[in-house]
Amino acid sequence: MIFTFRNALLLVILLALAGAAQADYHDVVFCGELAESDCDLLKASHENAAQKTSGTAVLNLDLFWSVPELDPFKPGFALEVQVIWNSDLRDVEMLDLTTIHTREDEEELLTMIADVLSRTSTWITVSLNLPPEMQGFLEEEIPEAFFSGADLLEVRLLEGDVYLDLSGLASLAPNEIPRGWFGFNVMDVLEAARARNPLPGENENDPGTVAAREESLANLEETIAFWADPAFLETFVAIERLPDEMMTGRTAAVFKTRLDLSSMFLSDRLREAVMASADAAEGIDIGGNDVSGAVTIMAGMLEWAAILGAGIDIDALHILDVEEEVPLRQEIHLAWDLSALEAMLGSLTGAQETDSEAGPESDSQPDVSLDTVTVYSYPDEEVPIPVPENAFFLPPGLIQVAQDALGRQDFADPDAA
């Protein structure tokens, strides 16, 4: 895939949607060395947020990167993601990976998914705002509307039906993406996928299937337990409570979390976990590739990753309503100094820049900055989400045809015979 501005933008949109859809619901509450009362407040906000059946979230994401030759202009863009959701988040928790892997009756699993979807509705709107200088910076033609903030994508989930308005994306790629509203039923997609690839639990009486499922589940549970282990988290995560603030006339508790990626990659526990995975994968071959050898190589790259991690600063602010004990705001700030990456690439390639090759002097260093701010609210009543008018709804047969086409080698590889 050619890494164009559109591809980068689509990647960030997917990450933004994934983050916004969580609605601040996480399985792990890390307290570190916080006072017991502060930890209790964090845990209470976690539980109370999970019990909400309606809410809104507005996420603003700014991504910019510096290029010394363009100093002081920094290319980048801003996204705003507005989310309205009506659902019991504990229902969503029921559909975790462990449940999917352990459910032996696939009909029961599909029924559970359909039941959760029938009680879930979500409305997501993504808008894009570009700085004026980006028009001359990009080789691709960008519609003027996106330089003043225009809708890029709209998604609605209503009782198992998904509707997408692709008009904004189509304006960026008119020859590749159709305009207008399109809809499909999630269960139709799952049924079509099931027809091609049985869900976990199919042929459950087959000893090989049972053994593979049990091994997969054991590895999954071990991985989840490892990343949720406070003893491991405290090697690279620090959290503290800052002075309280006032937000909309209410007292708000402020917690600051800081991640040290370099320490994480250099952690003996992480290296041991990776090497244990290599031992467990001994003898496993996928597509002619030795899985154990690949994992061993990955373990050897941890030190390189630590060098890169030393140039990445990540901190987050979690702001909670002290009285209601619910999340109000979350800020995440990432700054990545690319000097270490450039130096590492230079040492690997043996490239040495001479004075004659060097560009004009600049005080700035290459870096990337990512900042997100998410504001939450919890209305007393559900916010109605309407069905889009004039949406083209994809029938199950057409979904099956599309999935068959995507699965064909000649569709995936235009050069295939």
Question: What residues contact residue 389 under an 8 Å CB cut-off, 6+ apart?
Answer: 181
* pLDDT per residue as tens, the chain (417 positions): 333 444 444 444 444 444 444 433 445 788 999 999 999 999 999 889 888 889 999 999 999 988 777 777 788 899 999 999 888 766 666 666 555 555 556 677 778 888 888 888 999 999 999 988 787 777 677 888 888 889 999 999 998 899 999 899 888 888 888 899 999 998 888 777 776 665 444 455 555 555 655 665 666 667 767 777 888 888 889 999 999 999 988 999 999 999 998 888 888 888 777 776 655 555 444 444 555 556 566 666 777 777 777 788 999 999 999 999 999 999 999 998 888 777 767 776 665 554 444 445 555 677 899 999 999 999 988 889 999 998 998 887 776 665 555 454 333 333 433
Question: Is 417 a member of any domain?
Answer: no
Range of the domain at 17: 5-412
Q: How many other CB atoms are found less than 10 A from the CB of residue 369?
A: 16
Question: Is 288 a member of any domain?
Answer: yes
Question: Is 166 a member of any domain?
Answer: yes
Question: Is 52 a member of any domain?
Answer: yes
With 0-12 / 13-18 / 19 or more C-beta atoms within 10 angstroms meaning exposed / middle / buried, residue 55 is: buried
- Specify the pTM: 0.76
Question: Is 323 a member of any domain?
Answer: yes
Q: How far is residue 66's CA from residue 84's CA, in Å, rounded to a whole number?
A: 34
Summarised one tens digit per residue, pLDDT across range 121-179 is 999 999 999 988 787 777 677 888 888 889 999 999 998 899 999 899 888 888 888 89
Tokens linked to 241: 């409570």
Q: Domain count of the chain? A: 1
Residues 13/125, Cβ–Cβ less than 8 Å: no
Question: Is 283 a member of any domain?
Answer: yes
